[in-house]
Structure formats: structure tokens, C-alpha cells
């Protein structure tokens, strides 16, 4: 594999290389060795078998000169997060609908697969290829990715938490792959980003730490903290979808397949 630099300013943080003549994205892990245990071999087998147009293709894994890396297909147009913050891009209703459909189709397949759930669904993990097709990334391989010594872990974890379901935030030993109902909550946050284009919590005047602490500290009878829907000019069925996805009780949230039914009016066939 030959590593090359990415000259695109938008994608400057993405390591890319050539593998068998194809451009691939390289994600380096903060670990120097890897013990191929039975569970890791099982993870690799599972992710190799994933084949869906809205899930990023897994190319392989590499342990080379003390560097452990995951190789996936390269998404030429960056992440959904990149697209949403780019004020030069006009996102019309049809385009947003297409992206929403892509996410839902990918998540339905993932929830029906042996991967079971994503656990970290957010806009930066929704990648967009050269044809403007959205592909979900960073699912599975939780055992493979465990045991990293990342000096920026706490900063990254704080950001990730803004998409995470409250019940998972409250767990001391959260399952790495999260839960399906947790993914539904996270999808609601991503949908909110796509419609509002003001980040996962909009223009809320709270620091991320304060948001997370309030979500963790919820008590029965209180109104749970959620992104504000004030000022969003959206149909009632989308408001109802937000409310359902963000329900405080995970068992009261719809499964991802039913979320697609709820949003049928806005989706591209």
C-alpha cells in the first residue's frame, strides 16, 4: 500500500493511500500492536460480509511498522458534517431527502445484520462519495479498536456525546456498539442537523459539558433537554418524528424501519 497526501483543504485531515490501484481512506489507531483474538477475527469476518450501497466498504486492516490501521473506501466529497457547514452549498429539499433516505436504508441494513447497531452515528460518520451517495462509516470492529491510548480521547468523547442517547450517557460501562434505540435517538440528532444546519444542538446557549450534564441528570417528571424546534419551518410529521426519536424512554422510540415509514413523505423513492 502506498500512502499519499490529500491536497484538498476540506479533506486535509483524511489519510489516503493506494491499495491495488484504488484510493482508500486510512484510519490510524492509537495502538502499536494487535492480538488477533477469536473475537477480533469474528469482527473482521462480519464487517467483510457487509455489502450495502449506503455503508462504507471495508477494504482491510493493516499492522505495519508499529502502526495499526483500518482501510475503507475513500469518500471524495467528505462527510455530511463538511457539507452542512459549507455555506457555499445550497441544499434543496430533494437533496436533503436523498441523504435522509440513504441514512435510513443503511441503518436498516445494519440493524438487520450481525453488526446489530452502530453506537456512534453522527454527521462526521456519514460520508459522501463522488456521486453524492451517503455511506455510513465507523461501525463494527469495536474489539479491534479497543485499548487505544489516544491523548485527545476526552475532547473527542465530549463531541461524540452530543449525538448520544441519554440512557447511554448515564451508563458507566456503555456497550461499545451502543443499542438500536440509541441509534434511533442519534438519527434524530443528525436529521436535526440536516434541517437546521446549525450543528447537533442548534443555537442553544449552553456549553457541551453543560448539555451532557443536564442529559445525565434528568429526573422523572422533568421536561428532558432536547434541541429546540422553535423557528424550524417543518411539517408536523417531521416534528413528530423528532419527538419520537428523542423519547426519554428508549423502549418508546420507534425502530429505525418505522422511522423510515414516518418520514415516507420526504424520502426519495
Q: Output the pLDDT for position 13.
A: 62
Model confidence pLDDT, tens digit, residues 94-120: 999 999 999 999 999 999 999 999 999
- In this predicted structure, the answer to whether residue 15 has a pLDDT above a threshold of 60 is yes
pLDDT level of residue 4 (50, 70, 90 thresholds): very low
143-173 per-position pLDDT tens digit: 888 878 888 888 989 999 999 999 999 999 9
Residues 6+ apart with CB under 8 A from 66: 32, 33
Identify whether 134 is part of a domain. Answer: yes
**Region 249-255 average pLDDT:** 98
How distant is the alpha carbon of residue 140 from its chain centre? 12
Instruction: Specify the range with the lowest mean pLDDT, choosing from 43-47, 63-67, 89-93, 207-211.
Output: 63-67
Grid cell 452530543 in the structure block, residue: 162
- Predicted local distance difference test score (pLDDT) of residue 269: 52
In a domain, residue 229? The reply is yes
Answer yes or no: is 255 within a domain. Answer: yes
In a domain, 159, yes or no: yes
Residue 176 counted as domain residue: yes
pLDDT in tens, 48-65: 999 999 999 999 988 887
pLDDT digits (tens, 9 = 90+) for 169-179: 999 999 989 99
Residue 70 lies in a domain: no
HEC profile for 127-186? EECCCCCEEECCCCCHHHHCCCCCCCHHHHHHHHHCCCCHHHHCCCCCCCCCCHHHHHHH
In Å, the largest CA–CA distance within the chain is 58
Please give the share of the chain, as a percent, with pLDDT higher than 90. Answer: 70
Range of the domain at 201: 77-266
Task: Supply the CATH number for residue 177's domain.
Answer: 1.10.510.10
Q: Report if residue 162 sits inside a domain.
A: yes
Backbone angles phi, psi at 125, to 5 degrees: -100, 10
Q: Which residue has the cell 456503555?
A: 174
Among 103, 118, 89, 128, CA closest to 11: 128
The SS3 assignment for 66 reads coil
Question: Is the separation of the CB atoms in 69 and 61 below 8 Å?
Answer: yes
Domain count for the chain, please give it.
1
Please tell me the distance from the alpha carbon of residue 259 to that of residue 268, in angstroms, as a whole number.
15
What is the H or E stretch that residue 45 is in?
helix 38-48
Beta bridge partners of 28: 69
Q: How confident is the model at residue 214 (pLDDT cuts 50, 70, 90)?
A: very high
- Paired with 69 in beta bridges are 28, 62
Is residue 17 in a domain? no
Predicted confidence (pLDDT) at residue 31 exceeds the cutoff of 50: yes
Q: What is the pLDDT of residue 10?
A: 45
Considering the chain, what is the average pLDDT of its residues?
90
Q: Which of 71-75, 132-136, 183-187, 215-219 has the lowest mean pLDDT?
A: 215-219
Amino acid at each position: 500500500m502506498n500512502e499519499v497526501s490529500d491536497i484538498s483543504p476540506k479533506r486535509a485531515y483524511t489519510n489516503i493511500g493506494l491499495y491495488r490501484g484504488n484510493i482508500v481512506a486510512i484510519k490510524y489507531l492509537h495502538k502499536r500492536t494487535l492480538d488477533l483474538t477469536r473475537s477480533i477475527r469474528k469482527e473482521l469476518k462480519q464487517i467483510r460480509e457487509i455489502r450495502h450501497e449506503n455503508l462504507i466498504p471495508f477494504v482491510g486492516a493493516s499492522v505495519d511498522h508499529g502502526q495499526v490501521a483500518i482501510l475503507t473506501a475513500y469518500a471524495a466529497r467528505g462527510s455530511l458534517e463538511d457539507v452542512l457547514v459549507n455555506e457555499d452549498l445550497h441544499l434543496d429539499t430533494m437533496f436533503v431527502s436523498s441523504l435522509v433516505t440513504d441514512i435510513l436504508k443503511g441503518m436498516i441494513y445494519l440493524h438487520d445484520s450481525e453488526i446489530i447497531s452502530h453506537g456512534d452515528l453522527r454527521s462526521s460518520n456519514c460520508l459522501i462519495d463522488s456521486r453524492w451517495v451517503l455511506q455510513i462509516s465507523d461501525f463494527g470492529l469495536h474489539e479491534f479498536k479497543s485499548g487505544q491510548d489516544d491523548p485527545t480521547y476526552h475532547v473527542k468523547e465530549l463531541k461524540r456525546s452530543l449525538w448520544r442517547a441519554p440512557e447511554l450517557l448515564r451508563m458507566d460501562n456503555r456497550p461499545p456498539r451502543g443499542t438500536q434505540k440509541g441509534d434511533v435517538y442519534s438519527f434524530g440528532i443528525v436529521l436535526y442537523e440536516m434541517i437546521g444546519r446549525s450543528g447537533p444542538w442548534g443555537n442553544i446557549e449552553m456549553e457541551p459539558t453543560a448539555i451532557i450534564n443536564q442529559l445525565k441528570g434528568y429526573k422523572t417528571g422533568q421536561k428532558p433537554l432536547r434541541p429546540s424546534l422553535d423557528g424550524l419551518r417543518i411539517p408536523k410529521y417531521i416534528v413528530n418524528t423528532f419527538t419520537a426519536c428523542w423519547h426519554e424512554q428508549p423502549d418508546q422510540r420507534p425502530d429505525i424501519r418505522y422511522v423510515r415509514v414516518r418520514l415516507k413523505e420526504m424520502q426519495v423513492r
